[in-house]
Structure 1
Amino acid sequence: MSPILSGTSMTSLLRFATAGSVDDGKSTLVGRLLHDSKSVLSDQLEAVELASRRRGQEAPDLALLTDGLRAEREQGITIDVAYRYFATPRRRFILADTPGHVQYTRNMVTGASTAQLAVVLVDARNGVVEQTRRHAAVAALLRVPHVVLAVNKMDLVDYAEPVFAAIAEEFTAYAASLGVPGITTIPISALAGDNVVTPSANMDWYGGPTVLEHLETVVVDSDPSEDPARLPVQCVIRPQTAEHPDYRGYAGQIASGVLRVGDRMTVLPSGLTSTIEGIDALGEPVDSAWFPQSVTVRLADDLDISRGDVIAPAGSAPVPSQDVEATVCHLHDRPLKPGDRVLLKHTTRTVKAIVKDIPSRLTLDDLSQHPAPGELVANDIGRVVVRTAEPLALDAYAESRRTGSFLLIDPADGSTLTAGMAGAAFASPVTVETPADDDGWDF
């Protein structure tokens, strides 16, 4: 059906993100992975060796392999998540290297939003700290299927097993309370190379995999092609040619599932139904197409369909609604408050919306909900109620990370305010009166 493969075939791909507090050794870990897996070009390594000697270091400082983009961030460059591409004989990898500073926690949302695994780094001397809990919470909210706790700098605690065991137990209990499905704990020394790519001779008490071995063998068992089909319409194609005078196609990238000629489909939010008459991929007709292919779908009936509509199977289409209840991570320095007028972007559709209420904010220390916080500031995780001007066909985020997510955008300058995950549970129904106004946003 789909060419997407589970397991560890030669063509399998793993997207993973790294996270950790400042000075936990994340840059060194990434550098060690790239170096020891022979994914560093010779000229890159020579540049690192030269820079290390200038600093008076005898051995190459592998952290310098990633410090270039970090320096760019400090200079105000907007790309603040560094992506690395590398491969081993067993698997291909896309690594999202996220910043460690607490004020950049919001950037982990970007790096982990498509990740299948997250590596959370902890300094063995400091143990689980607030930033560790924050990263675990973000990974849980983003439904990252696998989380690896890498307890780093074991060489600075004499490779003591009790130190590792205590940190692993605390983190595992915390992550499990968040609902993280798969947790693996590995003791490492990124600087010395212990248990990163090769097994450590200093920790014979540990019998588990190295970091790279786990990355190569973890089973990626979530195949979006097995989910209900969703095709957000990006544009309507009408070539008006002599060869195809009546051609009308609906183009977009399949967000999940499989589309087949003959399938009965519903167009959302209108609810109109039709049958797939044809599918064009790369300019050629095909009988079926699947995530993440970009295709053009032709329907048997002429329907009123435009950009932002979603084509879904008639028997498994979400119910469109103007009321959105969600868990969000606030990304902007400007606080989010009830009554704010925003734009909500879901797949290819952008509509006006009003923040009706912020019922609670998550307290990371004990995972309690702080009721009625009044606002969310940068890096806050909370629950919101949003009313949109037009119905939206959102899936629950727990069922689909692609069609269950959305962004809140500042209508004045287009900046991203908040990343949202639809379907958050509320303790009780929330009813809030929308203040009347005459600015065209009262809906």
Structure 2
Amino acid sequence: MNSRRPRVALLGVATALLSLIAASCGEPGPLKLSLEISQARSGENLSVAESADTGAWSAYSENKYEVVGDLSVDRVSGFAWSVFQKNDTKGSFRALAEVFGVAGEVVKNEKNTFTIGVKNADGELLDSVGAHMYLWVDVGGAWWSYSSASPSASVSSPCAPNSPDCATSPPVLPSNLLSERDAMNRTIVTMTKALYNTATFTFTAKKSEWSTDVTGVMNIAGIPTNMTVSFSYGAEGALNYASGPLVYVKRANGYYMVSPEDAVKRLNDARYTSWGTATAAARDIMSQSNPIPDSVTIPITGARYVLMQATLTSKTTILLPAYTFYNESGDVGSVIAIEDKYLVYGSSDSTPGGSAVINPGTGGSDPGQIEPAPVAVPLDETSAKTLIGLTEEEAGKVASENGWTVRVAMRDGEAFMLTSDYSKTRVNLSIEMTLVTAVTIG
């Protein structure tokens, strides 16, 4: 009898996933996604200057990847999440500016961009520009950035070699940098004042000779995304720079995923891939070699399940089930992991756009948060089944957001004794191989 349990468990998981995808999207299944032909800028903050173009197709073909570790990821499907700018983007931008001590009006700068502390209400540049903020808004969401320095600060020309009129001195290192712990604590306090729910971010910090930098990874239902907040502190603990998203998300369709082994092959295709720091570093070394080799080999030691920001041809933004591959030097790259039958590709213009309409709103959710419902989501057979296919942890988070409670009634074929009381807001879960395969109410 016990020898049959693994097969029964797998059958139960497969059946549950079929029900999940059919129920979440209706017949004949999940909607196909029309993606931009390059996802090279996935996860970037659009309020800052554009980075170098890493989307050149020839550059992707120059990379070779060698798997030298275990790529096991305990997932066969995942949900996508639609991304929206906050309901009150303008008010939230003003609130952020107040937290950062930036005074002034929200002024439209160029297409898709707004500023505080750069121009006056008539759109004229201020005589003196100090701390200031930028906001990028389009149909795909909103991103902000803060800088303590003038955006047009002049840079002196370099001296001619051996010029007697040009005295050179070594750069002076900043004094009294924050410790990594203090930098993270200060970041969390600042974000809390700005009405972020910091419990949904995972923070890390790194101290160098020049600054103490904090990164906060935005998590959705406990799953890390490649959308982040960044804070950089300099001399005497002063905040030099910060940036982040000003968005909320709503759950979309469920999709089956390719295996991590098959997803590795997508690293050579810009339609699926956003490079990580390890790949960028390897390419820098490659470009400095003499002679420059035809390709660079990048090792992969592991993979993790994430949600990756992708741009649709409609210019809207969606977070898709993905894998991030990594090695000891950092992340190699993130790759969209849903099956090809759900994907089509459109315009080769990967520059985000759309009308720059800032949402005045009447209120909104916490930035970087799942949009909370004004009242608890009614629990019935249909809504309860939305938990099928999630991991136990994800199901608990989604249920909590909906105002429900959960308890495990069965795990891997073993039934548990439950209390006889009935609750119309409680879901009983059956778990097989970490995934929810069946639900009942009570």
Give me the TM-score of the superposition, normalised by structure 1.
Answer: 0.24
TM-score normalised per structure 2: 0.24
